[in-house]
Amino acid sequence: MFTRCVCLFACLALASATSADEPKEPKLKGALIFAGTHSQIKEERIELVTTEKAWEKLWDQHYGTPKDRRLLAESLELSVDFDTHYVVAIFSPDCWWCRVTTRERTGVAVIGYEKTYIQTEGREPDATTEQAKRERELDKERTAALAPYAFVVIPKPIRTVVIERGKRRDLSSPPEWKEVKRFPAPVEKK
Number of structural domains found in the chain: 1
Confidence of residue 189 (pLDDT cuts 50, 70, 90): low
pLDDT averaged over the chain? 76
Which is higher by pLDDT, 17 or 72? 72
- Domain presence at residue 189: no
For residue 71, the model assigns a pLDDT of 52
Q: Is residue 98 part of a domain?
A: yes
Q: Which range is most confident: 12-16, 156-160, 170-174?
A: 156-160
User: CA-CA distance, 185 to 161, in Å (whole number)?
Assistant: 7
Which range, of 65-69, 85-89, 103-107, averages the lowest pLDDT?
A: 65-69
Inside any domain, residue 188: no
| Of 159, 23, 9, 4, residue with least CA distance to 99 | 23
- Residue 108, domain member (yes or no): yes
**Is 146 within the bounds of a domain?**
yes
| CB of 74 closer than 8 Å to CB of 38 | yes
Asked whether residue 157 is assigned to any structural domain, the reply reads: yes
User: In this structure, is residue 190 part of a structural domain?
Assistant: no
Whether 110 is in a domain gets the answer yes
Q: Find the domain containing 54 and state its range.
A: 2-183
Q: Are strands 149-155 and 176-183 parallel, antiparallel or unpaired?
A: unpaired
